[in-house]
């Protein structure tokens, strides 16, 4: 088991506090394994196995637990007389009113609670009402490029040292970082696949499995959960999903998507189309990024873009055609910024746009992303919006290929591999 230290450190930081730790993220991004990592950490601290209780809600053993009362009774029976137990609930969202059981355990039992879920309704308004201020969310993603290299067993050198683009493996073999990055950009970062040399047929089968689980179990069955609207047209949902994956990084209007459906023989109103997109974001497959007026310093109510949780899923949905590599690059940078703890917005300027405005306390960056800017016109286009921003914060162009000065008029030029590896 390769430890994903950043996520584990977040859990450890809230260990033994009166907060429910809620780990969220797309299916198979590593949430269950993170619970195992936390269990292992606690065992190393001397906590006996009898006080580490795991409830995998999608297992056959617990398939009959569909109501919060049954869940509460099950957990309390297993706690028995144990002092200060650690409770791990995996994929809890399928238990109706699960938050009532968790809140009762939080209040009435001597326990520390950890929960995972693959859908945003896990953090519904009802949960927030029941335990307002008493939970902390740990959003989880598929692997970053640096994590992908760790899973592949690749050792690499920081920039500036001899052979900095070469990664070595335990068996004595070598590969260039650029080749490994091409694999990552094509096949993405779901942990299960990262332990082995990429294979398109294996990847296709695995992506199909994840995709069908999200579509059928997480979205089509949502009406079985109290108070959630049904998705009635699976064909339209999958067509919308394919359209959104094909248009990552593009501004897309609901009317345009509905028009595309109509052209394909599907019928969906604007409201239904908007609702179906919301279910894809709810399942953490897509993420909507709002626009921000850089000069006016305010959020805009219209526009915005969507990015996908894992570019390997996008390439599967795109039949591995390798199209729009620049926007795939942009998606990778977006996912890295989220992992690094930034709040990310699309920067709006009159007559122009900045791909990302990334902020966190005492830090802000303006970022453009491009496959290359070897010709003069592309370079001018990419630099122009950044030149128009007059504040002192970092301005960066992330490029996929080519050789450039490290600085042009105070704007940093950074290769995408160096950006993703923080070199």
Read off the tokens for 109. 């039992």
Please give the mean pLDDT across all residues of the chain.
Answer: 92
Helix axis angle, 31-44 to 5-13, nearest 10° = 60
Three-state secondary structure call for residue 400: coil
Is the pLDDT score of 224 beyond 90? no
**pLDDT per residue as tens digits for the range 285-308:** 999 999 999 988 899 888 899 999
Q: What percent of the chain has pLDDT over 70?
A: 96
Residue 94 has what pLDDT?
Answer: 78
Is the pLDDT score of 410 beyond 60? yes
Per DSSP, 339 falls in state: H
**pLDDT per residue as tens digits for the range 65-107:** 988 999 999 999 999 889 999 999 999 887 888 888 999 999 9
Read off the tokens for 299. 């959020």
Residue 160 has what pLDDT?
Answer: 56
Q: Where are the domains of the chain?
A: 5-139, 325-420
DSSP labels, 20-36: EEEEE-STTSSHHHHHH
- Neighbouring residues of 232: CB distance < 8 A, sequence distance ≥ 6: none
pLDDT band for position 128 (cuts 50, 70, 90): low
Is the pLDDT score of 395 beyond 90? yes
CATH topology of domain 5-139: Rossmann fold (3.40.50)
Is the pLDDT score of 176 beyond 80? yes
Cβ of 129: how many Cβ atoms within 10 Å?
10
Residue 133 has what pLDDT?
Answer: 77
Per DSSP, 55 falls in state: E
pLDDT band for position 63 (cuts 50, 70, 90): confident
Is-contact 3 41, C-beta < 8 A?
A: no
Per DSSP, 172 falls in state: S
Residue 227 has what pLDDT?
Answer: 67
Name the strand (E) or helix (H) holding 367: strand 363-370
Q: State how far the Cα of 337 lies from the Cα of 220, in Å rounded to an integer.
A: 31
pLDDT band for position 162 (cuts 50, 70, 90): very low
pLDDT band for position 124 (cuts 50, 70, 90): low
Q: State how far the Cα of 293 lies from the Cα of 302, in Å rounded to an integer.
A: 11
Residue 323 has what pLDDT?
Answer: 83
Read off the tokens for 356. 């990302």
Tell me what the mean pLDDT of segment 349-371 comes to: 95
The neighbouring-strand residues paired with 175 are 167
Least Cα distance to 22 among 141, 101, 117 occurs for 117
Measured torsion, CA atoms of residues 123, 124, 125, 127, in degrees rounded to the nearest 10:
-60
Comparing 248 with 263, which gets the higher pLDDT? 248
Is-contact 154 173, C-beta < 8 A?
A: no
Q: State how far the Cα of 180 lies from the Cα of 176, in Å rounded to an integer.
A: 6
HSE toward the beta carbon, residue 326, CA cutoff 13 A = 12
Comparing 219 with 96, which gets the higher pLDDT? 219
- CATH code for 325-420? 3.40.1350
> What's CA 22's distance to the chain center, in Å?
15
Is the pLDDT score of 159 beyond 70? no
Is the pLDDT score of 157 beyond 70? yes
Residue 131 has what pLDDT?
Answer: 67
Q: State how far the Cα of 38 lies from the Cα of 99, in Å rounded to an integer.
A: 22
Q: Give the position of tokens 């009362």.
A: 69
Three-state secondary structure call for residue 139: strand
Is-contact 215 234, C-beta < 8 A?
A: yes
Residue 150 has what pLDDT?
Answer: 96
pLDDT band for position 259 (cuts 50, 70, 90): confident
Q: State how far the Cα of 344 lies from the Cα of 398, in Å rounded to an integer.
A: 16
Is-contact 35 63, C-beta < 8 A?
A: no
- Neighbouring residues of 330: CB distance < 8 A, sequence distance ≥ 6: 248, 249, 307, 355, 369
């Amino acid at each position: 088991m390769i430890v994903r230290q950043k996520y584990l450190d977040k859990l450890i930081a809230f260990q033994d506090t009166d907060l429910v730790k809620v780990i969220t993220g797309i299916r198979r991004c590593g949430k269950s394994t993170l619970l195992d990592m936390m269990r292992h950490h606690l065992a190393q601290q001397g906590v006996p196995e009898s006080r580490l209780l795991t409830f995998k809600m999608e297992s056959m053993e617990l398939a009959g637990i569909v109501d919060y009362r049954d869940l509460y009774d099950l957990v309390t029976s297993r706690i028995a007389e144990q002092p200060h137990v650690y409770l791990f609930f995996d994929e809890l969202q399928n238990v109706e009113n699960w938050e009532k059981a968790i809140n009762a355990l939080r209040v009435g039992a001597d326990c520390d609670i950890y929960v995972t879920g693959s859908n945003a309704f896990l953090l519904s308004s009802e949960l927030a009402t029941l335990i307002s201020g008493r939970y902390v969310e740990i959003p989880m993603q598929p692997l970053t490029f640096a994590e992908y290299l760790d899973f592949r067993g690749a050792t690499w050198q920081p920039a500036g040292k001899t052979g900095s683009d070469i990664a070595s493996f335990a068996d004595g073999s070598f590969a260039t970082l650029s080749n490994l990055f091409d694999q990552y950009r094509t096949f993405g970062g779901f942990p299960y696949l990262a332990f082995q040399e990429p294979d398109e047929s294996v990847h296709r089968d695995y992506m199909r499995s994840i995709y069908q689980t999200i579509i059928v179990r997480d979205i089509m069955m949502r009406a079985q959960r109290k108070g959630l609207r049904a998705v009635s047209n699976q064909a339209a949902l999958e067509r919308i999903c394919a359209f959104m994956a094909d248009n990552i990084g593009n501004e897309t209007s609901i009317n345009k998507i509905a028009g595309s459906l109509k052209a394909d023989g599907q019928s969906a109103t604007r409201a239904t189309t908007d609702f179906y997109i919301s279910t894809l974001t709810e399942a953490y497959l897509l993420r909507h990024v709002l626009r921000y007026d850089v000069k006016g310093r305010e959020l805009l109510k219209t526009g915005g873009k969507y990015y996908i949780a894992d570019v390997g899923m996008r390439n599967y949905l795109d039949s591995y055609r390798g199209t729009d590599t620049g926007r795939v690059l942009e998606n990778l940078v977006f996912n890295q910024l989220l992992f690094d703890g930034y709040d990310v917005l699309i920067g709006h300027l009159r007559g122009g746009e900045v791909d990302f405005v990334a902020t966190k306390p005492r830090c802000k960056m303006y970022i453009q992303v491009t496959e290359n800017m070897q010709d003069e016109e592309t370079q001018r286009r990419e630099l122009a919006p950044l030149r128009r921003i007059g504040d002192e914060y970092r301005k960066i162009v992330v490029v996929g290929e080519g050789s450039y000065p490290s600085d042009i008029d105070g704007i940093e030029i950074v290769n995408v591999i160096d950006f993703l590896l923080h070199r």
